[in-house]
Chain A
Amino acid sequence: TQLLEQSPQFLSIQEGENLTVYCNSSSVFSSLQWYRQEPGEGPVLLVTVVTGGEVKKLKRLTFQFGDARKDSSLHITAAQPGDTGLYLCAGISSGSARQLTFGSGTQLTVLP
Chain B
Amino acid sequence: NAGVTQTPKFRVLKTGQSMTLLCAQDMNHEYMYWYRQDPGMGLRLIHYSVGEGTTAKGEVPDGYNVSRLKKQNFLLGLESAAPSQTSVYFCASSYGDGRLYGYTFGSGTRLTVV
Contacts and interface: CB of A to CB of B under 8 A. Distances in A.
A48 B92 CA distance: 16
Nearest to A44: B105
Contacts of B41: 104
A98 B99 contact: yes
A41 B107 contact: yes
B112 to A, nearest CB: 15
Contacts of A92: 97-99
Interface stretch (B13-21, B42-50, B74-82): B42-50
A105 B92 contact: no
B62 interface: no
A63 interface: no
Contacts of A42: 4, 90, 92, 105-108
Nearest to A33: B102
Contacts of B99: 30-31, 48, 50, 92, 98
Interface residues of A, number: 26
Interface string A17-41: 0000000000000110101000011
A96 to B, nearest CB: 11
Interface in B98-114: 98-108
Contacts of B4: 42
B43 A43 contact: yes
A88 B90 CA distance: 14
Given A1-B59, A42-B90, A98-B97, A103 B102 contact: no
Interface centre among B45, B59, B99 (most CB of A within 10 A): B99
Contacts of B98: 92, 98, 100
Contact of A105 (B35, B42, B107): B42
Interface centre among A4, A9, A31 (most CB of B within 10 A): A31
A24 to B, nearest CB: 14
A104 B107 CA distance: 18
Contacts of A50: 99-100
A102 interface: yes
